Structure 1
Amino acid sequence: MSALETKLTTAHAEVKAEIARTDNKTALLLAFVGAVVAGAWTVAKDMPLNTASCVVGGAGMALLVAAAGLLLRSVRPNLRGRHGFPLWATLTAEEITTQLREDRLSADIAGLSRLAMAKFKGLRRAVDLICAGGALLILAALIVAGGAA
């Protein structure tokens, strides 16, 4: 194996590992958001809420739901992909053999890198929304605790 082939194989494995790490982080964040939403709802339904706490808490919950939507979108399967399983599923056995004879590792790395970047951007936006939603829920709890009208 040449030095270039070794580097391409290493880069390919690295990009695939980054996608797997992003998907793992996304799964953990989805579980976290679900727990926060369920916990906040459980606590809020038994509290004497005023208008200010309802507005602020509702906005916080809306941000958390939006974050969950972003997280789900970032792990949504892309069946229109031009590499890997989606491509193989559309080809005959002979076409697969022809495709595998060609060196497409560079193109695969580029495609996977674009996919990884899209996942990273969605994850980053979701984390920002989770932080903002959590801050609003904390503010709503402080409003209730302080008795502000």
Structure 2
Amino acid sequence: MSTPQTLAAAHAEVKAEIARTDTKTGLLLAFVGAVLAGSWTVARDVPLALPACIAGGLGMGLLVVAAGLLLRSVRPNVKGRHGFPLWSTLTAEEITATLAQVDLSADIAGLSRLAVAKYTGLRRAIDLTCVGGALLVLAVVIAVVGGAR
């Protein structure tokens, strides 16, 4: 049986999970950006064989897709029904009336769906980052082995 305290605790937990996911997404986005910038700088100045270019290009492409997924998962939903966008469209009286009829369980369900969507995007971006990084490592190995001949 849910009580106002358990609903409030669940609501806070879901909001905290969204914040943690956004923090992880921001850190991964910074990492992917640094890897892309570093890889581009190195690849631009080093003559590479065709297989190394192909592997590196695929790796860079996957990292760009991962960055897109990360940006999409933290993109603000200005038309959403939670928080600032909702409050900015209401008068003071409408805010009071809305808060008087808040269904916390429905809000928890909506926020949970948002958290799962963000988490899914983050997982996909992590998978793409791993594969893209492996392809960049493969490109380095090909370049080093090819250059040693």
Please tell me whether residue 43 in structure 1 is matched to residue 42 in structure 2.
Answer: yes
Q: Counterparts in 2 of 1:129-140, with a 5 A limit?
A: 129-140=128-139
CA distance, structure 2, for counterparts of residue 3 and residue 74 of structure 1? 31
Amino acid at match of 1:9: A
Deviates more, 1:84-93 or 1:47-56: 84-93
Calculate the TM-score normalised by the size of structure 1. 0.94
- Distance 1:113-1:86 versus aligned 2 partners, 3 A rule: same
How far 1:86 moved relative to its partner? 1.5
How far 1:131 moved relative to its partner? 0.3
CA distance, structure 2, for counterparts of residue 91 and residue 104 of structure 1? 18
- Distance 1:110-1:3 versus aligned 2 partners, 3 A rule: closer
Amino acid at match of 2:120: K
Deviations 1:56-84 (A, max 9, x none): 10000000000000000000001121222
CA distance, structure 1, for counterparts of residue 44 and residue 102 of structure 2? 60
Please tell me whether residue 85 in structure 1 is matched to residue 84 in structure 2.
Answer: yes
How far 1:88 moved relative to its partner? 1.1
What SS does structure 2 have at the residue aligned with 1:65? helix
**How many pairs were matched up?**
148
What SS does structure 1 have at the residue aligned with 2:77? coil
How far 1:107 moved relative to its partner? 1.4
Aligned-residue CA RMSD (Å): 1.6
CA distance, structure 2, for counterparts of residue 39 and residue 88 of structure 1? 43
Amino acid at match of 1:63: L
Equivalent residue number for residue 22 of structure 2: 23
Amino acid at match of 1:24: T
What SS does structure 1 have at the residue aligned with 2:45? coil
Equivalent residue number for residue 125 of structure 1: 124
CA distance, structure 1, for counterparts of residue 38 and residue 141 of structure 2? 16
CA distance, structure 2, for counterparts of residue 79 and residue 35 of structure 1? 29
CA distance, structure 1, for counterparts of residue 142 and residue 92 of structure 2? 65
What SS does structure 2 have at the residue aligned with 1:147? helix
